[in-house]
Amino acid sequence: MKITVFTIATFSLLPATGHAAALQRRASDYISSCGPSWMAVNNVKTNHDTVERTGFNTAVDKFCNAAHGAEVGAKLFLSMATRVWLGYGADPKTTGINGYVYFEIHNKQNDKHIVDGGKCKEYLKNLSKDGSKCYGGKSHDDTKGGTWQVGNDLVSYHAIADKVPPIFEQMDKPVVLSNAIAPLSNNGKGKTLDPFPVEGFGDSVPFACHSHNDYERDTALYSALSAGCVSVEADIWEINGDLIVKHNSGDGNGNTLQNLYLNPLKALVDKNKAIFPKAPKQSLNLLIDFKNDADKTWDLLVKQLQPLRDAGYLSTSSDGQFKQGLITIIASGNGIADKDSNAPKPLGRDNPQGAIFADARIDKDMVNFNAGNAYFASAKYSDRGTNEAAKRDEAHKKGFKVRYWDGPASTADWQILVDEGVDRVNVDELQNVAAVAWRGDLL
C-alpha cells in the first residue's frame, strides 16, 4: 500500500510512559503503558437505547483494515484518528461524549515494517481484553487503550483517546508521519480550535440541551456540538470596541465572540450547509448574555453578525413573522429593556433583518414579546411559580422555546423537565447528556 509521508513538527499524545520514554527491553509482546482516558470497549446504545456509539474494538477494526499491507519506513509512524465513544470511567450507556482514538504504529527499527491487519487487531485489542491492566472492568466494559510493544520493542502499537481531532488529513485514513500524531490546538485564540474541525460533527445527534456557560469549557462550541447540544451560551462584555467573552468583569482578558463562536459557526455552515449534518435543518441557538453597556454591545453585535447575515445563515423576522435559519441569535441580560420590571421588552435598537431575538421572561408578563422579536422564554428555575404549566403553555402559543437557568443537575431531573415540555435544558456536565431520552421535535 502506497501512503504519503508527511513531516509534521508536533508533540506526542502519549503519556510519559508511552513510546517516547526509554523502555525496558523484553523478548515477548506486552503492554507497556495505558492511556489517560476511558473508551467503551464495544459499540453501545445511549439515550435510552436510541443512539449507537462507536466502541474501541470497532475503531480498531477500522484502523487495521485501512492499514493492512501498509509499509512503515524506518523510524516512522503510521497514524490515524477515528471516532470512539469516551465513557469517562462510568457506564458508557449513560455517560460519555464523542471523541477520537489516535492509532499509531511506531516502527523503531532501521528497516521497514509491513502492517498485517490481523496482527494489528490482535495487538490493539489486547488493550481492551478482560483482565488486561488497561481494561476497566465488566461493569463499565471500558479501556484506557495504551501501548502494545511487539517483540523486542522493535515496533509499538498505540491507541490513545482524546476529545479533540487532529487535522482533517489524519482523520479516518492512515498516513505516514515522521513524528507522533497530535490534536488540533487553539493557535493562540483561547478556548477554541483553530482551524475549527468542521468535519467532526457528521455523526452528532442533536438534543434539546443548552450548554450553560459554554465558553468556560476546555473547547467552546466544539464540546457542546460533540455532545449534540442545540443551544450554547456566551456572556459578552463590550471592552475597547470589541465583544469579549467572559463571565465576570475581572475574569482576565477572555476571548472574542468572533474567535470562539461567530467565525467557527460560519466556517461550519460554509463547509456542511448545516450545523448537524444528520439533521440538516436543525438550528443552533446562540444565547448572548449582555453584561455591560447594552447599546454599545448591541451595535457591535449587529456589526459582527454581518457575515452570517449576508450569507443567509441567521434566523430572521419580518412583519412579526419568524423565519428559521441555521443559527438563531438570542439576546439576554442587559440585551433586554426594562428587564427588572413586571413587563420587560426588547431593546429598541437597529436590528437588520430582525436577526437578533430577545430572551423573554417567562416568569413575568410577556405582553411585549412575540414570535417576531423573541425566541426564548426563560426564568430562574426557582422562580417558576405555581402557574408554571400555564406559563409554559402561554410561551409555546407565542412560539417561544422555554428554558430555565440555575436548575437541577441530575439527569433524572433533566428527564422530568424534558417530559414536562421544557424546550432547552441547562446542562453543565456534557457527558451526562447521554442518559436522557430527549424529544425529537427540536428546530
User: Hey, what's the cell of 149?
Assistant: 510493544
d(CA 131, CA 134): 8
Choice between 152 and 208, residue whose per-residue pLDDT is larger: 208
Q: Tell me: the pLDDT tens digits for 230-250?
A: 999 999 999 999 999 999 888
What is d(CA 165, CA 222) in angstroms, rounded to the nearest whole number?
11
Q: Which run of H or of E encompasses 267? A: helix 263-272
Contact present, 317 and 373 (Cβ < 8 Å): yes
Q: What is the pLDDT of residue 207?
A: 98
Domains, the chain, ordered by start: 5-177 (no CATH), 207-435 (3.20.20.190)
pLDDT in tens, 43-69: 999 999 999 999 999 999 999 999 999
Q: Pick the residue with more confidence: 197 or 442?
A: 197
* Residue with cell string 478482560: 130
C-alpha to C-alpha distance for 321 and 329, rounded to whole angstroms: 16
Return all residues near 367 (Cβ < 8 A) that are at least 6 apart.
343
Share of the chain above pLDDT 70, in %: 94
- DSSP secondary structure letters along 295-324: HHHHHHHHHHTHHHHHTT-B-EEETTEEE-
Q: Model confidence at 153, in pLDDT bands (50, 70, 90)?
A: confident
Check whether 7 has a pLDDT greater than 50. no
Entry pTM:
0.93
Instruction: Measure the CA–CA gap between 238 and 256, rounded to whole angstroms.
Output: 10
**Model confidence pLDDT, tens digit, residues 250-301:** 887 789 999 999 999 999 999 999 999 999 999 999 999 999 999 999 999 9
Predicted local distance difference test score (pLDDT) of residue 434: 99
Segment 347-382, tens digit of pLDDT: 999 999 999 999 999 999 999 999 999 999 999 999
Return the percentage of the chain with pLDDT > 90, whole number. 90
Distance, CA of 136 to chain centre: 25
